[in-house]
Structure 1
């Protein structure tokens, strides 16, 4: 009898140990799964929304926007994507807000109007950073939206450094560069004499690749104007491009209803545009490829 009881007791203890071990194993695996899920959850996205009309945004970009808990973008994107963004918690930056200006620098690096611009940008940038960090701490998903492609003269590229601890995800977008040569109906990599295209902008302080220097190569050049005066640009281009070099100005690239192209040469384009106010959203193309034809 005592032997039978000991046997039953032994079996009971064995069963309890098995249950205990299974319980611990389930808890450990659940914790591992939880940690894996947490690590795998991406919380910060930099999203390219394309140029112009909303239908140029990619499916991937729109999916991220729909899933985001907080949206950060310039006011112009709110106008383009109002139907989607009106349902979202969002922080909008003024269209003329130079959010990137002076990132990584100090007030001592600037003076005069540049200092004022830096102080304004730094204040705005600080508000954005605080807003994003607060959302992340609450377990929210944040999407910063940029026009065009976020990493071609993108005003938000600094966020990849600021939030590198979050392992940011970048969603590429169609650039206004793509939309512009679509409007031109020209392949910018083809011509009889050159196969290269240079993307550039105004001559920022301290840069070596000035427009005048780049023009010496006489390849196709695409200028992201961003407020650059056309007269100043033509003066710089004229240092190395001859007057007969074809040039084109693409206004509102990607906007189906208001996109238009102005064509001329280095020597004639100022006369053709003297009575026109060019919009902020315009690119300038210059080079022989603008006249290229397969059939001679």
Structure 2
């Protein structure tokens, strides 16, 4: 272990020394456990309380076995969690958020180190970003990490901003309203549960059929990640009637074979 790593390890027990607690939004990286950063892992080991969705906490079960573990929910404290809910479900959600908020504030007042652990980077496309606003008065700290965007970029191995290209990041909702003259040369769409036929129909209104498209599936999961690339017309013919995994990224204007 190098001297920097040794120093980090030596200081890991000194994370929470103030009278007040610490609330940290920590990136677990995306996909495989080894994608977590050294800093994030150190903070996770030193935490008193960890708030994470089950699929995230399972990846780090060896570190979390002696922690107080709470379920972070998907998109709690944000509109993401409210999508498609009826009135009764919204009431239940409000109760869940109120209970978790009280727990977080009580732990913080006790001087605990509280880690909200999530896949990907909290400030790129993280489902737990709502914690930043809900607990703003507790001065939450963000620990950056590897997101699906970072992992997908590495898999594509293409310079997205080369030669002055204009890059845009968004979710799929912008496809509904953007005008052809405003469509960026390079566009990365974060997709969850997408309707491919609908997406291709919208893209054909914005770009020529020869425009390069790359789709990255399961970025960061070494055994599952995959890149599909081709022209808009080729991918429309190949995939429009297919179902893709729930989470993927669409790179418009990027040819993975270039």
What is the TM-score with the length of structure 2 in the denominator?
Answer: 0.82
Correspondence for 1:231: 197
The verdict on how the C-alpha distance between 1:81 and 1:270 changes in structure 2, with shifts beyond 3 A counting, is farther
Give the TM-score taking structure 1 as reference length.
0.72
Tell me the residue number matched to 1:259.
Answer: 225
CA distance in 2 between partners of 1:195 and 1:135 (Å): 47
Q: 2:169 aligns with which of 199, 214, 219?
A: 199
Q: Deviations over 1:91-121 (max 9, x none)?
A: 1245xx3424438xxxxxx998464664443
Instruction: State whether residues 78 and 130 of structure 2, in contact with CA within 8 Å, keep that contact through their aligned partners in structure 1.
Output: no
Indicate the SS of the match to 1:81.
helix
Question: Residue by residue, what CA displacement relative to the aligned partner does 1:226-268 show, whole Å, maximum 9, x if unpaired?
Answer: 2222222112211111111111111110111111111122112
1:170 shift after superposition? 0.9
CA contact (8 A) 1:190 1:292 kept: no
> CA-to-partner distance for each residue in 1:264-288, whole Å, 9 max, x for gaps?
221121332357531112111111x
Higher Cα Rg, which structure:
1
Report what 2:39 is aligned to. Answer: 60
Q: Deviations over 1:17-36 (max 9, x none)?
A: xxxxxxxxxxxxxxxxxxxx
Given that 1:196 and 1:220 are in contact with CA atoms closer than 8 Å, whether structure 2 keeps it comes out as yes
Using the alignment, how far apart are the partners of 1:243 and 1:139 within structure 2? Answer: 58
Structure 1, unaligned stretches of length 5 or more?
A: 1-36, 104-109, 204-208
What corresponds to 2:238 in structure 1? Answer: 272
Matches of 1:200 and 1:111 in 2, distance apart? 18
State how many pairs are aligned.
240
Asked if 1:71 is matched to 2:50, the reply is yes
Distance 1:180 1:244, change over 3 A: same
Contact kept, 8 Å, 1:101 with 1:118, in 2: the verdict is no
C-alpha change, 1:137 and 1:173, in structure 2 (3 Å) is same
Q: In structure 2, what is the Cα distance between the partners aligned to 1:50 and 1:231?
A: 31
Give the 3 Å change call, closer, same or farther, for CA 218–141 of structure 1 in structure 2. Answer: closer
The 1:155–1:214 alpha-carbon spacing in structure 2 relative to 1, beyond 3 Å, is farther
Unaligned runs of 5+ in 2: 1-16
Equivalent position of 1:285 in the other structure: 251
